[in-house]
Structure 1
Amino acid sequence: MKSIYSILLVQFLFVVSSFAKDFDFFYFVQQWPGSYCDSKQSCCYPSTGKPEADFGIHGLWPNYNDGSYPSQCDPTRPFDQSQVSELLRRMQTEWPTLACPSGDGMKFWSHEWEKHGTCSSLDQHSYFQITLDLKNQVNLLQALATAGIEPNGQSYSLKSIKDGIKEGVGYTPYVECNVDTSGNSQLYQIYLCVDRSASTLIECPIFPHGKCGSEIEFPIF
């Protein structure tokens, strides 16, 4: 005879699993490493070496149209490195960790999978494969360069950054800023939105909260 605890656990996992599939869109988030490192928290290069001077993936996050999001949806599916072994070289290049102390990325990817990926209705390999493919589809650095915006430590208008990305990618971005060690606003993360199938970019139903200055730095990395 099953204990009441076991029955409740099964019911809880069923509810969480069902809840995980009930989301409206994804945020696809890329991060500029120069801005991560040029802050009070600083950064540590991964054990595989300094990342390229390019936007790196932060994550693919299921979200609701009201601004909330599901999280940690299935504790029975922890990160399993063996399921992404063929993707590891790409992940090291395109989805690098900058957290301290230096690591190989496993802790970062495990966090992204367990917090967000388990809510995505995707299996683990598909979650990482699809996110990497989105990175190849969305070349932010090229879009900004075409608009005359370079990571050279200069300041650019927030409008020109948004317009440059929209012109190059085709969709309106959300720009997140952080501050450097002198307190100046700088280009930190770019959010774009993807449909529930994780296959098609869409206009964002809602943007995160937060504001940048009208002029923001694009630091060197």
Structure 2
Amino acid sequence: MHVPCLLTALLCCWPLVGLAEPFSAGLIAERDCPAGISTKHQENPGQVRLVPGETYRVVARNRAEPTHYQVRIESARPRERWVEVACGRLAPAVTDTPRGPDAASAPVSAPTRTGGMDQQFVLAASWQPAFCEQRQGRPECRGQTPTRADARQFSLHGLWPQPIGRAYCGVERPQREHSESGDWQRLPTPDLKPVTRGALEQRMPGTLSALERHEWLKHGTCYGADADTYFRHSLALLDQLNASDVRTLFEASIGRRLRAEQVRDAFDRAFGPGTGERVRLECDPAGQITELRIGLKGVITDQSTLGDLIRAAPTRTLGCRGGWVDRAGPGR
């Protein structure tokens, strides 16, 4: 075969990766689209498809007015895949989550504006003394006293994108297995700024047991933002709860029982009528209130108001009908 003919044959068979135009953005998947290795052919090793709602890093487009974007899918081999532009909508530029022993595995980092108007979440706020009642040997429970901050206010459990089954987005199987088994110390540490890390250690006592690693992998990777933004938003919402009449009610009721209606009424006073109906109480078998699970809906930003997010959410079932507000240390 002559050289010109050989070159022609190679160009005809070569996937269009070589003709890609570098392009940086995020693609929020809206359709269950195949992700192939070429724009012209149907090769799709592993039969990889986009997951609606997930955000993928766009690394290239096939031309200035594209018909296809090349996205990076960490679980695919090869990772770079082509999808049609109609498969989703563009978001601001994103970057890969840092990898290595000190960084969590996640599909992308994203802007500080998270969720669409219809996106729902649950803010899980724990009453730490009740959590520790049967777990006195855990690092975060040893030495808890009535004067410690986590004995008098709510602690962060997590911020969970809904539905609850939406979890471990882009997380590889070994890390998921460690997370699900409770072997959290073997999980990578989320990449956080020092100020965020310090605030998290104060308001999430479970960091002493690596809870933040588990929460990031299970829920944060589905949040559409980097780890620092995820925890910064979570803490900002928790702080609004702890600055409200709800926390005041719980602190004043330590050692006594609270009815669910009292808790919901406190939410109505603090965050507006109807917000109490968006809150579910969790109690342990001993009848102690262990957690509030607060429904949220809408776009979360650094300036979000907790009351607005709660009011937009659907109503929630009551959960337990009330329980004891535990004090720090063994016994009520």
Which TM class, normalised by the smaller chain length?
0.7 to 0.9
Give the alignment's TM-score, normalised by structure 2.
Answer: 0.51
Match of 2:161 in 1: 62
Does the CA-based 8 Å contact 1:178-1:188 persist in structure 2? Answer: yes
Q: Which has the larger radius of gyration?
A: 2
Matches within 5 A, 1:1-221: 7-8=45-46, 11-12=48-49, 15-16=50-51, 18-20=52-54, 24-39=119-134, 41-42=135-136, 44-46=138-140, 50=144, 52=149, 53=151, 54-64=153-163, 68-75=164-171, 79-97=188-206, 104-105=208-209, 107-139=210-242, 142-145=245-248, 147=249, 150-170=252-272, 171-172=275-276, 173-180=279-286, 185-198=287-300, 199-200=304-305, 201-203=309-311, 204-207=313-316, 211-213=319-321, 215-221=322-328
2:208 aligned partner, one-letter code: D
Paired positions, count: 199
SS of residue matched to 2:252: coil
Q: Which stretch shifts more, 23-32 or 76-85? A: 76-85
User: Percent identical across equivalent pairs?
Assistant: 21
Q: Which runs of 4+ in 1 moved over 6 A?
A: none
Local SS of the residue matching 1:191: strand
Tell me the distance in 2 between the aligned counterparts of 1:117 and 1:196: 16
Q: In 2, are the aligned partners of 1:79 and 1:110 still within 8 Å (CA)?
A: yes
Structure with larger RCO (C-alpha < 8 A, sep 6+): 1
- The 8 Å contact of residues 55 and 140 in structure 1, kept in 2 or not, is answered as no
Q: CA RMSD in A?
A: 3.4
Unaligned runs of 5+ in 2: 1-14, 16-36, 38-43, 56-115, 176-186
Structure 1 portions without partners, runs of 5+: 98-102
What SS does the aligned partner of 1:7 have? Answer: coil
Query: Over residues 16-35 of structure 1, what are the superposed CA-to-partner deviations in whole Å (9 max), with x where a residue is unaligned?
Result: 4x443697311011000111
